[in-house]
Amino acid sequence: MDIPRPTAGRQARYTRRGPVPQDVVSADSFDVAAPAAGQVLVEVLAAPINPSDVLTLTGDYGSLPPLPAIGGNEGVGRVIATGDGVTAPRVGQTVLLPVGSGTWSTHLVLDAATLVPLPDGADPVQLSMLAINPPTAKLLLDAVPLQPGDWVIQNAANSAVGGYLVQLAKARGLRTVNVVRRDSAVDGVRALGADAVLVDGDDLAERVKAATGGAKVALGIDAVGGMATERLAQALAPGGTVINYGAMGGEACAMSPASLIFRGITLRGFWLARWFKTVDAGTRNALFAELVAMIAAGRLHAPVHATYGIDAIREAVAAAAAGGRSGKIVVVPTG
């Protein structure tokens, strides 16, 4: 298959960081290089904007690339040219892009060995969100031993991770209590298969008890921090575990001595980047294979609020940083 190789492309570049993320990024032109030996040229099909991307632009994320940098940590593309010695992936193959490769770009030259082949014909927008949020949701559910019929509670349930978690839990026969911060988010979470959806508040533990019929809840998943962490802890059975993976509320996790000491609640953190650094390739690839199969079959998906071309990157970042969305913002670089 012969695909014309472009000589010019567009990328979302930033040379500084600042408190208003859309102000530091711009769409710039660049020369598209030919792939060298062992490399491939990829046309980027779709790349989401995650909260970690926004925090990287503001300088508040836990790991920051050197400047200048190209935005985007995950995405999918199509191989359009190969360098000498490359037998796979083939030209025309859909591939998962390496995490952290600057995916807000029309084209990337990458080492062939770093690419994961994906099913052709699957929705590239849904596949573009594979590398970060679905594995995060899956691994959060694996944090403690759970059996079909067990209950899990999470906050920020209308987030991308929250939506994947609802679907993955349902596929395992787990039941979920899903906490959101506004009434308008309830229906969207319920439509994904949630068993109970509650708006956060001081009486959360009592309402969780009513929603579950007083069942034991062993695992709480927290993306908000502040007193929201404590409210999850109060809803757990004695000896339960809270796993924190974010601070959407902008405050450090709070947990009372009563929860920690008298009820034996454990608070732990989770960061996907650390997990990737500590597991072997076989474990990582098995996780991706399971998730890819579900996405390709339409059994795992994320709502998409809007897609933007690369030249609208500032509008896209502003939309991703704003609250009240009904789904993910995705960059479709050539769209």
Number of H helices and E strands in the chain, helices first, is 11, 16
**Among 48, 172, 43, which residue's Cα sits nearest to residue 95?**
43
Cβ atoms of 131 and 276 within 8 Å: the answer is no
**Among 263, 272, 274, 267, which residue's Cα sits nearest to residue 252?**
267
Residues 135, 44, 110, 73, Cα dihedral to 10°: -40
Residue 245 designated active-site: no
Question: CA distances (Å), 220 to each of 118, 209, 245, in order?
Answer: 33, 14, 11
Residue 38 CB neighbours (<10 A): 14
**Among 34, 28, 33, 32, which residue's Cα sits nearest to residue 14?**
28
How far from the centroid of its chain's Cα atoms is residue 272's Cα?
A: 10
User: E-strand spans in the chain?
Assistant: 8-14, 25-31, 39-49, 69-70, 76-82, 94-96, 107-111, 116-117, 151-154, 175-180, 196-199, 217-222, 241-244, 266-269, 304-308, 328-331
Exposed, middle or buried, 173 (CB in 10 Å: 0-12/13-18/19+)?
exposed
Choosing from 61, 164, 245, 308, which is the catalytic residue? 61
CA-derived radius of gyration, the chain? 21
Question: CA distances (Å), 23 to each of 29, 52, 57, in order?
Answer: 18, 17, 9
Cβ atoms of 98 and 131 within 8 Å: the answer is no
Which are the catalytic amino acids? 61
